[in-house]
Structure 1
């Protein structure tokens, strides 16, 4: 994405490793808009003036974009271009002031005004009956739904679970994730701790054990979730999101409003409603202690503690 021959190949490779592929994909789309703007206005792409940057961001605002999109563009330009007038674009005082103006004139809004009751999905899972009698499709949908609810994690986290890193203990199950996740720091691991639950039809640990047993002879990958038909390889995040939407639909929840990611909203909101302390919710869902994301975007009218999961399951 950087200017051709701007850096040696080995340097460029390391620079690309500094962000997730999804981030570069977003930056690529953003930077294309910047280059088109520069072409139309006969401006230099790589050595712009601060006024050019400000006018471009202001145009995005005039075109109807909100704070989140414009802030993403700021991050993109800061990463790709770096400094203007001796200061980094992302922290340039005037750019920061402009973004504050964007936030005041068009404040970022949460995706959902409210969230669905997790009891709807839990009742659907319970009504499916005994795990041993479920086909691979229903069992897959049930497991991903229970994991999403009892951990509050993103689909990215669930898709990263590997069978060798699942450890069953007396009364619980611990899952260690070594993959780099959106919220993880370099070299860190994510640990999901799942408790046994008395209701066997809602116990995520028992559902996980049954799923592993049913897929043992057919799986072609170490990743936990596999396709429901040959060649039984690892499924993508998009597939897991689609499975979650199927569960929502079958639970009577409007999928034209709520996506698979809304499981994160529902579970964290339910835990908060049941009196789980904010620190436990943050720790469960992978937010840092001083994060404002939950209060702003998720609270609506891994895990090294079982408090979070039990609160959701107990309804």
Structure 2
């Protein structure tokens, strides 16, 4: 293992200088992995199938991280796909020194392992020193996540059951879209990537004739973040919440929180304008009907929470994240007086 060269320039202090930038000409990205696999005698179609084991978002992330590593190596006159373990560790250490989260460092290492030729017939990520380094990095960078999401579910649910989110038949498409996205996130406990993969195609979405339930499945081409997760690939059956006939005015109010109702109205309202089978499409004039990105869907969920607080005359809390809806899915189940399993099946 070669010793790191002391005179090599360190990374600049500006955080942006070490962030992935648009691809420069000559950067191979995951094409480097393809070359490595072709050297093993694998035909192009086999290589393509192997690389598609990763979700498109993961491939894109690896490509960006590898381009950063390429530039880092170029400044030090290192052959990136043949670099030593010491070089890789120096790069990862500089990431940690710049305050990068352990999960971010993991993605960088995974990208390097995918594109590097490997050492002693193993990927560089499997090298004993790299494994020990990552264990140490995890111990030094433990993250304490908040036990309670920063927003109040009861406040948001109350807001969603009244103006400006109601009456649902006449609200503007933007508000209907935000409401449908948030209620679906809360009632299914799905990751945003899984919600993004939902489709209005008949093979993926079916409403009961009486609108008492809806069956949802992700697009078959979707590769979940955790492939082994049963929840990621599980069919979801949502039951109508406080369906008609109503026994009280409270039942009518609670029915406004029904994800089946919100989803049905959203699908009907977007039918004439949609240009894709993807469930969630844009309401913006310049992109109306076109599928939105996963990042945009995350923004929808957060914006729905912010608008809910604003409509109640409250200041929305800071640090809102779309993934917090998964932590509140149990509260949603309790609100409906059912088990967590029953709430998403």
Shared fold per TM-score greater than 0.5: yes
The count of aligned residue pairs is 281
Question: What is the match of residue 247 of structure 2?
Answer: none
Are 1:168 and 2:223 matched, yes or no?
Answer: no
Are 1:247 and 2:304 matched, yes or no?
Answer: yes
Does the C-alpha gap of structure 1 residues 92 and 274 become closer, same or farther in structure 2, counting only changes over 3 Å?
A: farther
Give the one of 177, 190, 195 matched to 1:140.
Answer: 177
Residue by residue, what CA displacement relative to the aligned partner does 1:152-201 show, whole Å, maximum 9, x if unpaired? 11222222222222122374221122232323459x94412211111321
Residue by residue, what CA displacement relative to the aligned partner does 1:293-313 show, whole Å, maximum 9, x if unpaired? xxxxxxxxxxxx42358xxxx
Shift of 1:95: 1.0
Listed as ranges, the matches of 1:170-209 within 5 Å are 171-177=212-218, 178-180=220-222, 181-184=224-227, 189-198=233-242, 199-209=254-264
The structure having more radius of gyration, on CA atoms, is: 2
Runs of at least 5 residues in structure 1 that lack an aligned partner in the other structure:
281-304, 310-315
Give the distance between the partners of 2:284 and 2:106, measured in 1 at CA: 42
Are 1:262 and 2:303 matched, yes or no?
Answer: no
Are 1:150 and 2:182 matched, yes or no?
Answer: no
Moved over 6 A (4+): 272-277
Residue by residue, what CA displacement relative to the aligned partner does 1:71-106 show, whole Å, maximum 9, x if unpaired? 222211111115213332222221111111111122
2:280 touches 2:291 (CA, 8 Å); kept in 1? yes
Question: What is the match of residue 72 of structure 1?
Answer: 107
Does the C-alpha gap of structure 1 residues 272 and 107 become closer, same or farther in structure 2, counting only changes over 3 Å?
A: farther
Are 1:55 and 2:90 matched, yes or no?
Answer: yes
Shift of 1:15: 4.1
1:68 touches 1:108 (CA, 8 Å); kept in 2? no
Does the C-alpha gap of structure 1 residues 217 and 22 become closer, same or farther in structure 2, counting only changes over 3 Å?
A: closer
Does the C-alpha gap of structure 1 residues 37 and 272 become closer, same or farther in structure 2, counting only changes over 3 Å?
A: farther
Question: What is the match of residue 285 of structure 1?
Answer: none
Runs of at least 5 residues in structure 2 that lack an aligned partner in the other structure:
1-28, 243-253, 310-314
TM-score (norm 2): 0.70
1:248 touches 1:255 (CA, 8 Å); kept in 2? no
Listed as ranges, the matches of 1:1-315 within 5 Å are 1=29, 2-3=31-32, 6=36, 7=38, 9-110=44-145, 112=146, 114-115=148-149, 116-127=151-162, 128-163=165-200, 164=202, 165-169=204-208, 171-177=212-218, 178-180=220-222, 181-184=224-227, 189-198=233-242, 199-228=254-283, 231-252=288-309, 254=316, 256-268=318-330, 305-307=341-343
Farther-moved stretch of structure 1 (62-71 vs 120-129): 62-71
TM-score (norm 1): 0.76
